[in-house]
Amino acid sequence: MPKKRKSRGRSKGDKGKSGRVQCDGCGAWVPRDKAIKVTKPVSILEPQLARELQKQGALIYRRVVMKYYCVSCAIFQRVVKVRAKDERKFGGPLR
Ligand SMILES: [Zn+2]
């Protein structure tokens, strides 16, 4: 069977099963190795207030939020992009 991707869109190899996580966009249950994981720092303060405090030289604490997205939500929110055929098929270090 022809493959669209070398990894079949997952990173589990021949592991068998992997646990499931819930997508933070739509709530779907997706395999952990297929889900797209995003970590980003989020400030507790409002952006305008944070900017003013930063101007005065204050250090603003940002906590890191981790999110899992299913493939369709990650594409929709532009976390990842659709890649061309030759770019995706043998891409990566292993070739
Ligand atoms: Zn989703």
CA 60 to ligand 1 centroid distance, Å: 31
Higher-pLDDT residue of 18, 86: 18
Q: Which CATH number fits domain 20-81: 3.20.20.70, 3.40.50.300, 3.30.1740.20, 1.10.1660.10?
A: 3.30.1740.20
Strands 36-43 and 62-69: antiparallel
CA 17 to ligand 1 centroid distance, Å: 20
CA 33 to ligand 1 centroid distance, Å: 14
C-alpha distances (whole Å) from 10 to each of 48, 73, 91 are 40, 16, 14
Beta bridge partners of 42: 63
Give the number of C-alpha atoms closer than 13 A to the C-alpha of residue 14, restricted to the C-beta side: 0
d(C-alpha 28, C-alpha 40), whole Å = 21
Report pLDDT for 33: 94
CA 12 to ligand 1 centroid distance, Å: 20
CA 48 to ligand 1 centroid distance, Å: 30
Q: What is the pTM of this model?
A: 0.74
Each residue's pLDDT tens digit, 45-75: 888 998 999 899 988 888 999 999 999 999 9
Report pLDDT for 95: 47
Report pLDDT for 91: 58
